[in-house]
Structure 1
Amino acid sequence: MSADLTSVALLTRLNLRRERIIVPVTVVVLIVTSAATVSSIRTLYGTAAERASLAAGAAANAAFKLLLGPLEHVQSAASIASWRAGLFMIATTAVCAALMVTRLTRKEEELGRVELIRAARTGRLAPLAAAVFVAAGFAVVVGAGMALLMGSAGATGAEAAVVGGQYATTALAAIGLAALTAQVATTARLANLLAVSVVLGGYVVRGIADSTGLRWLQWTNPVGWAQRMDPFGANTWWPAVPSVAFFLVGVAGAAWVSEHRDLGGGLVAPRPGPPASDVSSLPALAVTLHRGGFLGWMAGIGVFALLIGVLVNAAASLTQDNPQMVEYLHRLGGPGALSTVYFAVIMSYLGFAASTWAVTAMARVRGDESAGRAESVLATPVSRSGYIISQLGVIVVGIVVLLLVAGLLVGFGAGAVTGDWASMMSNALRGVAVQIPAALVIGAGVVALYGIAPRLVVGGGWAMVVAAFLLGPMGELFGLPQWVRSLSPFTHLPAVPAQPMRWGPVVVLAVVAAGLGTLAWWRFRRRDVEGS
């Protein structure tokens, strides 16, 4: 076995270097987002009476139970913050850990790098072990950060430790799962799909358990096991045992499969394409390449949008007997009825989600170029201009379609619970449409980064999205000065439907997006194309 792990320390250091941007950014985003939640809870629910009112009002809504779980403990701001963001952030951390394992194993194998590494003095299991070590370190760091954050928010030492354990052990379970799917699947995309589907499926099953009273369903998945740890109630560690066991079994299974399969092989292969391709142009090729990822993002954003619409009636109960919450919403969304203010505030989150898809889409384009596929395409009688314009076109159309579909689903959910179909659909579509120019600025900016240098896409693209988010709606929570918040394109948008439409900022943002698209076209035509 020791021979199988030869050079694992060297590969671990290599993985740490490769992840030196993505991992710290991810950790910071997760902790800062939770810190923003804690800050808002302290401001909006600072007294015991306000926290009790929340538990009796909006938190009792079935839709809130589906999305966040039941609010059973209101003794501190930490307990409320753990309910508001906990399970969602736990699942998000687990997804990030799973993607990291796949990125460092199957993706590297798919690109041919593992074959080069294994040609040196390297053990057969060393790449897998190095990836697991780095991902496990990420899980521990996030767990420790969340524990410190909860401790600063008023949690006891034992409560904060269990909160950190929720994050760390659920991420470990996802690491074990991803290690196995990376060995079973023959492509990184399929491995990610299998692992992420299980994690998010567990989150959905947990939501069904909480909203229907079928609490036994919580025992079927790692997210439910984390919920059972109940840091502010039972405060117990033993439900984390299945997550740790899941991690150990998954890693052991992955090691066994790795020992018994050919390099590049797997048990689950992607479905072969049609015998005759119908891809007859660059735009058709771009659509084909992005179609699977786009449909997955549309499904995820669509579910979120539908829940947003269903929760529109909860806006009033959420703010009942809480003037601070009412004031905060009006600062973000302007004057008017709480339902329209709710639409104005929440639509910006859909804009961020659509712009995030653009980063993942262009990361796929960057991967194609690194693997030499872009070079092969450009070796045919096609122009560089056509190649980059087709990618830019897919990003623009994809963002618009994602937001419009999300707006329709928000309107549908709100109309179903209120019965006022016309105004709800109008408010939703107007609120989401005004987000398009700001999302296009981010999308075109990511394409511009690709045009300048492919290596900038992942780090630079995520930095743009995170900065726009933290300086936009989060900037109000952090009390940032207006000139700092103005760096986010979303800050300049009118809060439709709570405020009247203002075309000036929309036109300016559209011009900025067009300028960034032009920069992408100009730079891509002049730089070298990476080969495999």
Structure 2
Amino acid sequence: MSATAGTRLLVRQFARRDRIIAPAWLLVMAVLCLVSAAATPGLYDTDAARVRAAEALNDSPAIVALYGPILDVHSIGELAMTKMTVLYAVIAAILFVVLVRRHTRVEEESGRTELVGGTAVGRDAPLTAAVAESVVVAIALGLLVVVANIAGGLDPAGSVAFGCVWFGTGLVATGIAAVCVQLSASARTCAAAAAGVLGVLFMMRAVGDASGATWLSWLSPLGWNTQARAWSGTRWWVLALYPLLAVALVAVARWLRGRRDLGAGLVAARPGPATGSPRLSDAVSLSLRVHGAAIVAWTAAVAVLGLLFGFIAPGLDDLLDSGSAQELIDRLGGEMLAAVLSVVAIVVTCFGISVVSHAGSDETGGRTEEVLATATSRARWLAASLVVALAGSLWLLFVTGITLWVGYATAGGPSPGDLVTAAIGWSPAVWVVIGLAAVLLALRGSWAVFGWVWPALFLTLTLIGELVGFPGWLTGLSPYSHVPTMPAQPWQWAPEIGLTAIAALLLAAAWLRFRERDIG
């Protein structure tokens, strides 16, 4: 039997399992490109205004480190896609890490790969199928981005080149994930390794672009996104680097796959202590132990994000010298800091969703039954995950507020107001979304993964709804639309109390349903 036998069947199965998460992710990224492409010409309607905006961006090392440089200050496409070229490309790349990890390492960890391998499925079929599906998704992403940019009024040739850049980013992310899932028997460790690689590549590009050391940017595939010059004098040969690197990474992954046992990793797992710590006898302590590394990583990430945005916020005033630009910011949050907090709130929501989703995978993997076989009740087990999700998101927002204030003060900006309160004010909206994910978990453990649809949906409604003219009742469905946008607006108790009450009702409904249904 061939080592890749059964690949086609597995691709069909993977596509069916990802029929919601992949299209939703692709749709959000395409809509973001569409809105950015359509809005920018109206913000800077003359070449002089575009040049001033591009030069202001390039004059800020922090902005260049975050978004990358604008190589042609006269290019409307390059200005419109400033954030999309690198920063949002990383967000798109995360999808491919999720897909490859989900269908390889997660399946091995749960034992399902061994079960499938007992049929007419070859040893290399799962990895090959996961890579094949990711390639198809990358093609779809590139095509959607091309269509979105052209529909937004940008140059068709540049749109095609930019779509190829995102397609290539997806291929490289697929290769990185394929290698990382060979390293450890733990799906979490593999995810952390892939995230670490993407983080290092981003930092290499950021340092290279901000310091002028272009050679360092060329060492990172994310640096190629800018150096390809999609919108002016496209370097088509750069686009060939993505598939070449992806093929090399997949080849390395297949070679590593042949040098390890099924269910094991190249890095041998260390045996734990013979007896567990008494501190882990409590369900909440156990949940904190499981998610401890993720909390630390998320804390570091939002701290860096807060410092960066706080540092660059005062310098963005030069970009808002037109009435249309200021109007856009007003619609997104009134002030730049408020707009930043609205985005960070959605990012922090993903932490809570990941905790709830992990609880669902524990149930489908049989680990929940093992815990409930002890003196732990259903209520305590569910409460442990929800406490970590709710309290963890509150903590991350608090850290964001602190670091945003530190970065803003370091940059010498005027007093921005109470940014800590402004950040924490988003917690009730975040809790509502976590509550919706908890309801899915309570209905069926396998449905917890669909909780990722909520932040994608509300991101579309909140950040894009008004720009494209959605009716008020539709944008009002998003809990983020009801949060007072401090510091642009004063604190308001009514929406905060209302959102908290809705979150409490959702969590109560989840608890009532969970205690009655069958486990597994």
Class of the TM-score when normalised by the shorter of the 2 chains = over 0.9
Residues 224-233 or 497-506, more deviating: 224-233
Which residue among 455, 472, 476 is the counterpart of 1:486?
476
State the Cα distance separating 1:80 from its structure 2 match: 1.7
1:348 is aligned with what amino acid? S
**1:327 and 2:327 equivalent?**
yes
Q: Deviations over 1:106-154 (max 9, x none)?
A: 1111111111111011111111111110011111111121122223344
1:23 is aligned with what amino acid? A
State the Cα distance separating 1:274 from its structure 2 match: 4.8
CA distance in 2 between counterparts of 1:510 and 1:42 reads 39
User: Structure 1 residues 18, 251: closer, same or farther in 2, change over 3 A?
Assistant: same
2:327 is aligned with what amino acid? E
State the Cα distance separating 1:3 from its structure 2 match: 1.1
SS of residue in 2 equivalent to 1:5? coil
Give the fraction of aligned pairs with identical amino acids, expressed as a percent.
31
**Hey, what does 2:177 align to over in structure 1?**
178
Residues 18-27 or 191-200, more deviating: 191-200
Residues 18-27 or 404-413, more deviating: 18-27
**Hey, what does 2:302 align to over in structure 1?**
301
1:310 is aligned with what amino acid? F
**1:230 and 2:229 equivalent?**
yes
Q: Deviations over 1:9-67 (max 9, x none)?
A: 11111111111111111111111121122232133123323211201224421111011
Which residue among 474, 480, 485 is the counterpart of 1:495?
485
CA distance in 1 between counterparts of 2:172 and 2:136 reads 13
Q: Deviations over 1:351-386 (max 9, x none)?
A: 111111111111111111111111000011121111
Residues 141-150 or 104-113, more deviating: 141-150
Does the Cα contact within 8 Å between 1:136 and 1:172 map onto a contact in 2?
yes
State the Cα distance separating 1:412 from its structure 2 match: 0.5
CA distance in 1 between counterparts of 2:147 and 2:464 reads 21
Q: Any residues of structure 2 matched to 1:184-263 within 5 Å, and which? A: 184-263=183-262
**1:395 and 2:389 equivalent?**
yes
Residues 405-414 or 228-237, more deviating: 228-237
2:296 is aligned with what amino acid? L
SS of residue in 2 equivalent to 1:279? helix
User: Structure 1 residues 345, 226: closer, same or farther in 2, change over 3 A?
Assistant: closer
State the Cα distance separating 1:397 from its structure 2 match: 0.7
State the Cα distance separating 1:270 from its structure 2 match: 4.9
State the Cα distance separating 1:104 from its structure 2 match: 0.9
**Hey, what does 2:39 align to over in structure 1?**
40
**Hey, what does 2:364 align to over in structure 1?**
370
**Hey, what does 1:142 align to over in structure 2?**
141
CA distance in 1 between counterparts of 2:57 and 2:172 reads 32
CA distance in 1 between counterparts of 2:3 and 2:23 reads 30
**1:8 and 2:46 equivalent?**
no
1:160 is aligned with what amino acid? S
1:441 is aligned with what amino acid? V
**1:448 and 2:447 equivalent?**
no
State the Cα distance separating 1:264 from its structure 2 match: 1.0
User: Structure 1 residues 272, 472: closer, same or farther in 2, change over 3 A?
Assistant: farther
State the Cα distance separating 1:498 from its structure 2 match: 1.8
CA distance in 1 between counterparts of 2:176 and 2:317 reads 41
CA distance in 2 between counterparts of 1:89 and 1:176 reads 19
Does the Cα contact within 8 Å between 1:147 and 1:164 map onto a contact in 2?
yes
Does the Cα contact within 8 Å between 2:462 and 2:475 map onto a contact in 1?
yes
User: Structure 1 residues 435, 218: closer, same or farther in 2, change over 3 A?
Assistant: same
**Hey, what does 1:338 align to over in structure 2?**
none
**Hey, what does 1:467 align to over in structure 2?**
457
Does the Cα contact within 8 Å between 2:158 and 2:231 map onto a contact in 1?
yes
Q: Any residues of structure 2 matched to 1:17-56 within 5 Å, and which? A: 17-56=16-55
**1:406 and 2:405 equivalent?**
no
CA distance in 1 between counterparts of 2:39 and 2:264 reads 49
CA distance in 1 between counterparts of 2:418 and 2:338 reads 9
Does the Cα contact within 8 Å between 2:37 and 2:154 map onto a contact in 1?
no
Residues 102-111 or 251-260, more deviating: 251-260
2:142 is aligned with what amino acid? G
SS of residue in 2 equivalent to 1:30? helix
Does the Cα contact within 8 Å between 1:359 and 1:462 map onto a contact in 2?
yes
Does the Cα contact within 8 Å between 1:388 and 1:521 map onto a contact in 2?
yes
CA distance in 1 between counterparts of 2:90 and 2:453 reads 21
**Hey, what does 2:448 align to over in structure 1?**
457
**1:519 and 2:509 equivalent?**
yes
1:455 is aligned with what amino acid? S
User: Structure 1 residues 82, 280: closer, same or farther in 2, change over 3 A?
Assistant: same
1:72 is aligned with what amino acid? L
**Hey, what does 2:430 align to over in structure 1?**
439
Does the Cα contact within 8 Å between 1:23 and 1:138 map onto a contact in 2?
yes
State the Cα distance separating 1:83 from its structure 2 match: 1.8
**Hey, what does 1:337 align to over in structure 2?**
none
State the Cα distance separating 1:465 from its structure 2 match: 0.9
Q: Deviations over 1:439-486 (max 9, x none)?
A: 111122212221122222222x12211222121132221221211111
User: Structure 1 residues 240, 299: closer, same or farther in 2, change over 3 A?
Assistant: same
Q: Unmatched 5+ residue regions in structure 2?
A: none
2:32 is aligned with what amino acid? T
Does the Cα contact within 8 Å between 2:461 and 2:474 map onto a contact in 1?
yes
2:381 is aligned with what amino acid? Y
User: Structure 1 residues 419, 84: closer, same or farther in 2, change over 3 A?
Assistant: closer
Q: Unmatched 5+ residue regions in structure 1?
A: 335-340
CA distance in 1 between counterparts of 2:83 and 2:218 reads 21
CA distance in 2 between counterparts of 1:139 and 1:271 reads 36
2:458 is aligned with what amino acid? A
**1:381 and 2:375 equivalent?**
yes
User: Structure 1 residues 331, 27: closer, same or farther in 2, change over 3 A?
Assistant: closer
